[in-house]
């Protein structure tokens, strides 16, 4: 508001003045309330004409995840037109994601729309408004700002103003000529140095902040910040459980402080900054990736095992004879990893004990041809052993016969000698 506009209305009889330190806001004429929630955000808002002015020039936007407050100026039937044009344009032009550059472009488009409206006779020449808006998405808050409406961030019980007023008294504070408390009561506190509707080349401040689960964002017109100190705003914001109660109590405090101006407050709570979903997504991807890796590894191992089994051969005991097997002499999950390919007439019992023991475990060979060759070598060995055994037996028999003949001859000689005597 301009200081002249404020002076023209300050002498009016307060409307619905409570005459006490606290004031109920429910049911007041000219009030507007919007509240709601999504999976990630909860919000509450209230706009009140105040105790002095005859009409409300503030407009606000609650179009989650986009929120805005515009404080109109320009006199009766003009300030509210400018702020209404601004919020409509911001709602139309705002980006779909938390992009502060594009959000700033939307505010600058609103400036053009307000100027065009004045030229076309919508409202009045010279009408204008402030604009403070934010778009909250996945742990980020894009902000675009012009004028002396404000955005605060409450985190872990501490309130921080994140926007910078475009006002004469803010320049004095920046220069160190007055304090922030002195600025609140300075006679030139309503002089705005940048606003929508004044300059076609106006630009918006824009930036992005990180937000976290549990953060509370407050967007307000100067009807709150000029009536209530930041320390009291912090106390109220901390003490309220839900955003609508916070908005109601902040408006009530502004009215109790005098209610000299329209007051609009939008409170947004960050229920989920997206990190939980990101962690869930990461876990799902990790689990899927791990499962996929396991499946691939299992396929590789199975393929390698199958190749190894198909290329392996061994000799084993097949019901007492030597059999030729393809695979390995093992089982997996109750499934034999080999099968009988060929049999032979070679009796295991005819082989040496060491070979019999090896056949029980399986005698590995390089190929089926090698298996056949080994079987033949077993057969040859058996035949050789049998031949050796036969020769040995013949020799033993021949020796036995020779020994018997010698014995018989000796006995005959002995008998002849005895008879001669």
Question: Does 327 share its domain with 259?
Answer: no
Question: Does 139 share its domain with 252?
Answer: yes
* pTM of model > 0.75: no
Question: Does 44 share its domain with 165?
Answer: yes
Question: Does 237 share its domain with 358?
Answer: no
Q: Check whether 169 has a pLDDT greater than 90.
A: yes
Kindly state the DSSP code that residue 348 receives in the 8-state scheme.
G
Q: Break the chain down into helix, strand, coil percent, rounded to 5.
A: 45, 25, 30
CA–CA separation, 231 vs 219, rounded Å? 16
Question: Does 26 share its domain with 114?
Answer: yes
Question: Does 146 share its domain with 96?
Answer: yes
Sign of the CA dihedral with 82 first, then 83, 86, and 92 last: negative
Q: Check whether 163 has a pLDDT greater than 70.
A: yes
Q: What percent of the chain has pLDDT over 90?
A: 52
Beta-bridged to residue 340, according to DSSP, are 325
Question: Does 121 share its domain with 241?
Answer: yes
Q: Average pLDDT of the chain? A: 87
Q: Which range, of 93-107, 148-162, 177-191, averages the lowest pLDDT?
A: 177-191
Region 364-369: what's the mean pLDDT?
A: 89
Q: Check whether 149 has a pLDDT greater than 90.
A: yes
Domain count, the chain: 2
CA–CA separation, 283 vs 293, rounded Å? 15
Helix/strand/coil for 136? strand
Tens-place pLDDT, residues 190-200: 899 999 999 99
Domain assignment of residue 420, yes or no: no
Query: What is the CATH number for 81?
Result: 3.60.40.10
Q: In terms of pLDDT, which residue wins out, 282 or 361?
A: 361
Tens-place pLDDT, residues 256-267: 999 999 999 999
Range of the domain at 178: 3-273
Q: Which of 273, 303, 334 is the last residue of a domain?
A: 273
Domain assignment of residue 131, yes or no: yes
Domain assignment of residue 179, yes or no: yes
Q: Check whether 342 has a pLDDT greater than 50.
A: yes
- Residue 275 has what pLDDT? 74
Domain assignment of residue 188, yes or no: yes
DSSP letter for each residue of 372-409: HHHHHHHHHHHHHHHHHHHHHHHHHHHHHHHHHHHHHH
Q: How confident is the model at residue 6 (pLDDT cuts 50, 70, 90)?
A: very low
Question: Does 209 share its domain with 340?
Answer: no
Q: Per the structure block, which two tokens stand in for 403?
A: 């020994």
Q: How confident is the model at residue 411 (pLDDT cuts 50, 70, 90)?
A: low
Q: Which of 273, 302, 331 is the last residue of a domain?
A: 273
Tens-place pLDDT, residues 198-248: 999 999 999 999 999 999 999 999 999 999 999 999 999 999 999 999 999
Question: Does 139 share its domain with 260?
Answer: yes
Domain assignment of residue 410, yes or no: no
- Residue 253 has what pLDDT? 97
Question: Does 325 share its domain with 269?
Answer: no
- Residue 15 has what pLDDT? 36
Would you tell me how many other CB atoms lie within 10 Å of the CB of residue 370? Answer: 14
Residues 204/144, Cβ–Cβ less than 8 Å: yes
Q: Which of 273, 302, 335 is the last residue of a domain?
A: 273
Q: Which range, of 113-122, 145-154, 169-178, 275-284, averages the lowest pLDDT?
A: 275-284
Question: Does 113 share its domain with 255?
Answer: yes
The length of the chain, given as a count of residues:
421
CA–CA separation, 231 vs 224, rounded Å? 12
Domain assignment of residue 374, yes or no: yes
Q: Check whether 400 has a pLDDT greater than 70.
A: yes
Identify each DSSP E strand in 64-220 by its residue range. 66-73, 128-129, 131-137, 140-146, 150-155, 158-161, 205-210, 216-220
Give CA torsion, residues 313, 317, 322, 327, to 10 deg.
-10
Q: What percent of the chain has pLDDT over 70?
A: 89
Token pair 């020994």 is found at 403
Starting at the edge strand that comes first in sequence, how are the strands of the sheet with 263-270 ordered? 32-37, 41-48, 263-270, 216-220, 150-155, 158-161
CA–CA separation, 242 vs 41, rounded Å? 11
CA separation, residue 33 to residues 12, 52, 264 (Å) = 26, 20, 10
Q: Check whether 356 has a pLDDT greater than 50.
A: yes
Which segments of 144-196 does DSSP mark as H helices, in order?
Answer: 168-174, 180-185
Residues 30/49, Cβ–Cβ less than 8 Å: yes
Domain assignment of residue 97, yes or no: yes
- Residue 256 has what pLDDT? 96
Q: Check whether 167 has a pLDDT greater than 50.
A: yes
Q: Is 396 left (phi over 0), alpha (psi -120 to 50) or beta?
A: alpha
Question: Does 269 share its domain with 330?
Answer: no
Domain assignment of residue 114, yes or no: yes
């Amino acid at each position: 508001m301009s200081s002249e506009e404020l002076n023209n209305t300050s002498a009016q009889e307060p409307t619905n003045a409570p005459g006490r330190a606290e004031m109920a806001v429910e049911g007041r004429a000219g009030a507007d309330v919007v509240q709601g929630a999504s999976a990630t955000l909860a919000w509450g808002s209230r706009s009140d004409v105040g105790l002095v002015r005859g009409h409300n020039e503030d407009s606000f936007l609650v179009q989650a995840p986009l929120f805005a407050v515009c404080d109109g100026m320009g006199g009766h039937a003009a300030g509210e037109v400018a702020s209404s044009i601004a919020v409509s344009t911001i709602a139309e032009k705002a980006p779909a994601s938390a992009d502060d550059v594009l959000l700033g472009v939307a505010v600058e488009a609103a400036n053009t729309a307000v100027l065009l409206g004045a030229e076309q006779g919508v409202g009045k020449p010279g009408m204008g408004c402030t604009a403070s808006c934010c778009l909250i998405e996945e742990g980020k808050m894009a902000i675009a700002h012009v004028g002396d409406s404000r955005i605060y961030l409450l985190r872990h019980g501490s309130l921080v103003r994140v926007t910078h007023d475009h006002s004469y008294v803010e320049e004095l504070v920046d220069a160190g000529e007055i304090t922030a408390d002195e600025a609140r009561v300075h006679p030139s506190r309503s002089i705005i140095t940048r606003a929508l509707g004044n300059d076609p080349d106006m630009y918006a401040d824009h930036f992005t902040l990180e937000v976290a689960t549990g953060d509370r964002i407050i967007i307000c017109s100067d009807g709150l910040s000029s009536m209530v100190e930041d320390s009291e705003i912090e106390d109220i914001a901390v003490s309220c459980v839900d955003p609508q109660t916070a908005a109601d109590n902040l408006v009530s405090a502004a009215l109790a402080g005098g209610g000299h101006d329209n007051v609009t407050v939008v409170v947004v709570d960050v229920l989920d900054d997206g990190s939980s979903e990101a962690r869930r997504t990461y876990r799902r991807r990790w689990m899927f990736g791990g499962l996929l890796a396991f499946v691939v590894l299992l396929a590789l191992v199975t393929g390698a095992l199958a190749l190894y089994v198909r290329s392996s051969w061994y000799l084993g005991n097949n019901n007492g004879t030597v059999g030729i097997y393809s695979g390995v002499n093992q089982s997996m999950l109750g499934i034999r990893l080999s099968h009988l390919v060929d049999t032979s007439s070679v009796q295991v019992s005819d082989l040496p004990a060491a070979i019999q023991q090896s056949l029980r475990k399986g005698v590995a060979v390089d190929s089926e041809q090698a298996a056949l060759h080994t079987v033949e070598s077993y057969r040859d060995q058996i035949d050789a052993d049998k031949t050796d055994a036969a020769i040995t037996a013949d020799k033993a028999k021949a020796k036995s016969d020779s020994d018997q003949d010698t014995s018989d001859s000796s006995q005959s000689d002995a008998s002849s000698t005895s008879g001669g005597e």
